[in-house]
């Protein structure tokens, strides 16, 4: 499918979905979100793709919701537009989604990165929830996912003042997995995606689900969920292949079954 604001680059077994609205620093409106969500769902249903990268450009991953589009909206119109429901659909993607962030990840842009499974950043990335400066608060997870990722003290600081974290601060506080120089961050993110794409697909899917579950359940329920997935993997060919290959000192050959 052709999109106006999303570019898809296929490098099987990975694919890169790039938000492409550079003149407005990749500000998100309902068309951008609708296109992005459907592009990610398309890639999720594509058997040739095993890991997805979501990126913007070197200057901006995304500067947040399109303020010009929201400035005159009423509360009822915001409810009817329901843009934030797109974040729920993104969360349901079953393949790993890596956010490769450079430049601004502000407001909805930061929330979009946090809806991904992990964040790789360039040294010039900045993460902020600056909604307080325009008289509102984060609406797509900024008070919830950020607090779970970096803790109450730092989240409160960011959400109440709108201040940005640098890439290295974000890494130190657990928001970002890896930081690379700006010239190579995208290549490094692709390398990481390719590495994940070499693993047993069903195990990757379950690993993602289990880690994400830790954000949503009490510990006992999360442990129970993890244990059932672990046992279930003994019903897969790949589970047995991986262990046999280790014993036989050879590389495993995954079937995705």
Minimum distance between the CB of residue 222 and ligand CO8, rounded to whole angstroms? 27
35 binds ligand CO8 (CB under 6 A): no
Minimum distance between the CB of residue 54 and ligand CO8, rounded to whole angstroms? 16
Minimum distance between the CB of residue 131 and ligand CO8, rounded to whole angstroms? 5
Q: Which class for 20: exposed (0-12), middle (13-18), buried (19 or more C-beta within 10 A)?
A: middle
27 binds ligand CO8 (CB under 6 A): yes
- Comparing CB distances to ligand CO8, the nearer of 4 and 248 is 4
| Nearest 10 degrees: Cα torsion 217, 222, 224, 227 | 160
To which residue do tokens 């079953």 refer?
A: 94
* Residue from 3, 8, 20, 24 binding ligand CO8 (CB under 6 A): 24
132 binds ligand CO8 (CB under 6 A): no
Kindly indicate which of the ranges 37-45, 48-56, 64-72, 200-208 contains the residues binding ligand CO8, using the contact rule CB under 6 A: 64-72
146 binds ligand CO8 (CB under 6 A): no
Q: How many residues bind ligand CO8 (CB under 6 A)?
A: 21
**Is-contact 17 64, C-beta < 8 A?**
no
**Is-contact 102 120, C-beta < 8 A?**
no
Closest CA to 36 of 101, 69, 83: 83
Residues of this chain, 81-110, that bind ligand CO8 according to CB under 6 A: 83-84, 104, 106-108
56 binds ligand CO8 (CB under 6 A): no
**Is-contact 156 129, C-beta < 8 A?**
no
Helix (H, G, I), strand (E, B) or coil at 111: helix
Q: Which class for 48: exposed (0-12), middle (13-18), buried (19 or more C-beta within 10 A)?
A: exposed
Q: Which residues are catalytic?
A: 65, 108, 111, 131
171 binds ligand CO8 (CB under 6 A): no
Kindly indicate which of the ranges 22-30, 88-96, 153-161, 190-198 contains the residues binding ligand CO8, using the contact rule CB under 6 A: 22-30
67 binds ligand CO8 (CB under 6 A): yes
* Residue from 32, 101, 140, 202 binding ligand CO8 (CB under 6 A): 140
Give the gyration radius of the chain's Cα atoms. 19
**Is-contact 114 141, C-beta < 8 A?**
yes
* Residue from 31, 57, 139, 144 binding ligand CO8 (CB under 6 A): 139
Which strands, in side-by-side order, build the sheet including 165-166? Answer: 60-62, 104-106, 126-128, 165-166
- Comparing CB distances to ligand CO8, the nearer of 34 and 134 is 134
Closest CA to 120 of 59, 182, 163, 62: 182
* Contacting positions for ligand CO8 (CB under 6 A): 24-25, 27, 63-68, 83-84, 104, 106-108, 111, 130-131, 134, 139-140
């Amino acid at each position: 499918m052709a999109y106006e604001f999303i570019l898809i680059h296929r490098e099987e077994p990975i694919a890169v979905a790039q938000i492409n609205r550079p003149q407005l620093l990749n500000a998100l409106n309902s068309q951008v979100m609708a296109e992005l969500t459907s592009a990610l769902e398309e890639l999720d249903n594509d058997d040739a793709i095993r890991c997805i990268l979501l990126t913007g450009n070197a200057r901006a991953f995304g500067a947040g919701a399109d303020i010009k589009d929201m400035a005159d909206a009423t509360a009822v119109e915001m409810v009817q537009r329901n843009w934030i429901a797109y974040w729920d659909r993104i969360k349901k993607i079953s393949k790993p989604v890596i956010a490769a962030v450079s430049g601004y990840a502000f407001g909805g842009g930061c929330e979009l990165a946090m809806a991904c499974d992990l964040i790789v950043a360039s040294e010039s990335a900045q993460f902020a929830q600056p909604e307080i400066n325009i008289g509102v608060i984060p609406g797509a997870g900024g008070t919830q996912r950020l607090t779970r990722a970096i803790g109450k003290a730092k989240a409160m600081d960011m959400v109440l003042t709108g201040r940005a974290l640098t890439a290295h601060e974000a890494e130190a506080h657990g928001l970002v997995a890896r930081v690379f120089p700006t010239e190579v961050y995208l290549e490094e993110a692709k390398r990481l995606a390719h590495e994940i794409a070499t693993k047993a697909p069903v195990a990757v899917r379950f690993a993602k689900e289990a880690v994400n579950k830790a954000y949503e359940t009490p510990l006992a329920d999360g442990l129970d969920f993890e244990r059932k997935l672990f046992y279930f993997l003994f019903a897969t060919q790949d589970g047995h292949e991986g262990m046999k290959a280790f014993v036989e000192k050879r590389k495993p050959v995954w079937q995705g079954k």
